[in-house]
Chains A and B, each alone.
Chain A
Amino acid sequence: MPPLLKLILIRLGLGILTLFLVSVIVFWATQALPTDTAQAILGREATPERLEVLRAKLGLDQPIQAQYGHWLAGVARGDLGESLVQQDVKVTKLLSSRVVNSGILVLVAALVSVPFSILIGSLSAVWRDTKFDSVVSTGNLALAALPEFVVGIGLVLLFATSVFKWMPAVSRIDPGVSLASQLDLLVLPAATLTLAVAPYVSRILRASMIEVLESEYVMMARLKGLKGPLVLWRHALPNAIAPTLQVIALNLAWLAGGIVVVEYLFAYPGIGQSLVDAVANRDLPMIQALVLLIAAVYVVLNLVADIATILVSPRLRTGMR
C-alpha cells in the first residue's frame, strides 16, 4: 500500500473510532448515568405507572448494552428515535429543515470569516509592529474575550433596536418563503459567528506567519535575491497555512457549538435552538441526536484538516525518510 494511502486510512480509522467513542459518551451521559432518567424527566410528582410507561418507551427496562446496541443500530440506519415532546414524531423529521438552516448559517459565517482572517492574520505578520498590527491585535484580543451572546446583543443594540434600526432583531425564518428573499435575517447571526471565530484564526495565522518569516529558509530566499512577492507567496504563505489548518477546523467545529447561543438569541430556527428547547424539555432522543451530530461535525472537520495537512506538507505526504 502506498504510504500516503496508508496514512490517510489510519486517520480515517481513528476518526471512526472517535465517533464511536463519542456515541458511547452521549449515550452513557443521557441514559446510563446512575440517575433515574425517567424520574428526572417527569419530576418528583410522577405516578409509578407513568414512570413505567416512559421507562419502557426509553428502553430503560433493558440491560444497558442492549439499550446502546438498539440505539446505535438505529443511528446507523438513520433512525434517531422519536421525540418525547412531540409524541410519535421522528427526530429526523423534526430536525431535517433545521439542519439545513444551521448549515447555511455556519457556511456563510465560515466563508466570510476564514478567508478574511487568513488575510488579516498574514498582513499583520508582514506588517508586524505597525499601527495596523496593533489595531488588529487589540481588536482580536477584545473579540476573543467576549462571549458570543455579548457580541450578538451588542450587534442587536447597535444595529437593530437602539442606535441604528437597520436590521431585524430576531431571525424567524419563514419556512414557506425562499431563503433568498429573507437574507437580511442571516446578517446579524452570521456576523456574530464571524466575529467570534475570526480573532482565533487570524491570531494563529499571524503567529504562524511570523515564525515562517523568521525562518532560515525565508531568510535564504531573501538572500538569494528573490523578489518580495515570490518570497511571500511561494516560500512563506504555504508553510504558514499548513500548521494552522487544524486550528481553523477546530474553530469551524466550534461554530457548530456557537450556534446554540446565537440561534437562541436571534430565535433562528436551527439545531442550536432545537438543542436549547430539547434540554429545557428533557427530550432525550432529541438531545442525543443533536449532541451526536454536533460532535460528528467536529470529528469530520478534524479529519478533513488532518488529511489536508498531510496533502500540503511534502514531508508527511512523501512519508518520512
Chain B
Amino acid sequence: MSELPKVTDSNLVEPASASGGGAGSEWVATLRNAWSFNRTRIGVGIVVVIALLAVLGPVFAPHTPTEFVGAPYAKASGTALFGTDSLGRDVLTRVLYGGRTVLSLALAATIIGLFGGVTFGLIAGYARRWVDETVMRTLDVLLAFPQLVLVLLLISVVGPKLWLIVLMVGLSHAPRIARVTRAAALEISQRDFVKAAEALGESKLRILVAEILPNITSPLLVEFGLRLTYSIGLIAALSFLGFGLQPPAADWGLMINENRIGVSVQPWAVALPVMLIGVLTIGTNLIADGLGRALIGIERTGGES
C-alpha cells in the first residue's frame, strides 16, 4: 500500500460544480440558487404581500363582508372606498376578506396533488415493466380530461362541496405531477448507484425513499410552484363559474361572478379581485420559474464531468 501516493485535498481538482451548489441536499442548493435570480425575489415579494393581505386583511376591513353599506353598484365614496357591489356591500371589505379561501384551498389542493402524483410517479418510475405501464396508461387516460372539465364532471355528481373541490383539483394535478416524477425517477433509477443498492439487497422501499427521492426533490419543488399557480387559477375559476364558494361568502372568484353584470357601471368590484388573482398567479409562477432556472443551472454544473 505504502508506495501508492495518498490522494488528498491539496493536489486535487476542484469540484466539478464550480458554483458550490449541487452537493448535499439538492433542494437547499436549488433554493439558494433560485434566490439569486431577481424574478424569484419579485415573485416571493408579491406572494408575501398578497398572503399578508389575505391573512391580515380582515383586521383592517372597514365593514363586515355581508353588511349593506349603500345602494348596489354605488360609486366610490367615503364609506366605501371602492364603491359597493351588486348587493350594496363594501367592495374593499369583501376584497380584504376574499383572499383567504383562494390561498388556503389552492395550497391544500396542491399538497394533495403532489402527494398523490409523487407516490404514483415514484412507483411507476422505479417498478417499470407492467406496473409502470398500468399506472401510466391509467394516468394517460385521466390526462384526456382538461382539469377543469374533470372537476366539473365530479361536481355535477356530488355537488359543489368545498372538500370535494380541493380533493378534485388536487387529484386532477396528480397525473401531471406523476408524469414529471416518473420521468425524473426513471432517469435516476437507471443510474448505477441504484443497481449498487439492489446488489447489496436493500429493500425496494428503502431504495425509493433513500436513493431515488433525494435526487428528485428539485424538479418536485419546481412542480409545486407550477401546480400552486394552476390551483389558484382553477379554484378561482370554479368560484367564477358559480361552482366554488357559495354566496354570501366573500371570495375573489365569486366576487367576479357576482359583479360582472355591472362591470361597466362599477368596474372596481370586478377589477380588484381580477388584479389580485392575476398578480398572485404571476408571483407564484415567477417563483416556479426561478426554481426551474436554478434547477437547470445545477444540472449544468453538477452533472458534467
**Interface pick from A62-70, A95-103, A149-157, A175-183:** A149-157
Residues in B whose Cβ lies below 8 Å from that of A260: 146, 148-149, 152, 241
- How many residues from B make CB contacts under 8 Å with A? 46
Q: Give A25 to B143 CA distance when docked, in angstroms.
A: 12
Fill in one digit per residue for A252-288: 1 if any B CB lies within 8 Å of its CB, else 0: 0110111011001100000000011011101010010
Residues in B whose Cβ lies below 8 Å from that of A294: 145-146, 149
A299 lies within 8 A of B281 (CB): no
Most buried by A among B144, B145, B232, B289: B144
Per the 8 Å Cβ criterion, residues 144-168 of B in contact with A are: 144-149, 152-159
B153 lies within 8 A of A146 (CB): no
A40 lies within 8 A of B158 (CB): yes
B142 lies within 8 A of A25 (CB): yes
Give chain B nearest CB distance to A274 CB in angstroms. Answer: 12
Residues in A whose Cβ lies below 8 Å from that of B144: 18, 22, 253, 295, 298-299, 302
Q: Give A257 to B237 CA distance when docked, in angstroms.
A: 12
Cβ of A226 < 8 Å from any Cβ of B?
A: no
B274 lies within 8 A of A153 (CB): yes
A141 lies within 8 A of B289 (CB): yes
Cβ of B277 < 8 Å from any Cβ of A?
A: yes
Cβ of B243 < 8 Å from any Cβ of A?
A: yes
Residues in A whose Cβ lies below 8 Å from that of B86: none
Residues in A whose Cβ lies below 8 Å from that of B278: 145-147, 150, 154
Q: Give A26 to B156 CA distance when docked, in angstroms.
A: 12
Give chain A nearest CB distance to B253 CB in angstroms. Answer: 8
Cβ of A29 < 8 Å from any Cβ of B?
A: yes
Please tell me which one of the listed residues A148, A153, A157, A291 contacts residue B145 in the complex, with CB atoms under 8 A apart: A291
Q: Which residue of A lies closest to B262 (CB)?
A: A161
Residues in A whose Cβ lies below 8 Å from that of B242: 276, 280
**Interface pick from A30-38, A49-57, A113-121, A229-237:** A30-38
Residues in B whose Cβ lies below 8 Å from that of A169: 263-264
> How many pairs of residues, A versus B, come closer than 8 Å at their CB atoms?
142
Please tell me which one of the listed residues A35, A153, A261, A298 contacts residue B241 in the complex, with CB atoms under 8 A apart: A261
Residues in A whose Cβ lies below 8 Å from that of B154: 29
For the complex, would chain A's binding face be called helix, strand, loop or mixed by DSSP majority? helix
Give chain B nearest CB distance to A237 CB in angstroms. Answer: 23
Residues in B whose Cβ lies below 8 Å from that of A253: 144, 146
Cβ of B74 < 8 Å from any Cβ of A?
A: no
Q: Give A265 to B142 CA distance when docked, in angstroms.
A: 26
Cβ of B233 < 8 Å from any Cβ of A?
A: yes
Fill in one digit per residue for B150-192: 1 if any A CB lies within 8 Å of its CB, else 0: 0011111111000000000000000000000000000000000
Cβ of B284 < 8 Å from any Cβ of A?
A: yes
For the complex, would chain B's binding face be called helix, strand, loop or mixed by DSSP majority? helix
B263 lies within 8 A of A279 (CB): no
Q: Give A144 to B39 CA distance when docked, in angstroms.
A: 15
Q: Which residue of B lies closest to A296 (CB)?
A: B144
Q: Give A260 to B256 CA distance when docked, in angstroms.
A: 16
Q: Which residue of B lies closest to A278 (CB)?
A: B156
Cβ of B236 < 8 Å from any Cβ of A?
A: yes
Q: List 21 A-B contacts (CB under 8 A).
A: A22-B144, A30-B157, A37-B157, A141-B289, A146-B282, A147-B233, A147-B278, A150-B278, A153-B263, A153-B270, A157-B270, A162-B264, A162-B267, A253-B146, A260-B148, A261-B237, A261-B241, A265-B260, A279-B156, A298-B143, A302-B144
Q: B-side interface residues toward A, CB under 8 Å?
A: 39, 138, 140-149, 152-159, 229, 232-234, 236-237, 240-243, 256, 260, 263-264, 267, 270-271, 274, 277-278, 281-282, 284-286, 289
Q: A-side interface residues toward B, CB under 8 Å?
A: 18, 21-22, 25-26, 29-30, 33, 35, 37, 40, 141-142, 144-150, 153-154, 156-157, 161-162, 169, 253-254, 256-258, 260-261, 264-265, 275-276, 278-280, 282, 284, 287, 291, 294-295, 298-299, 302
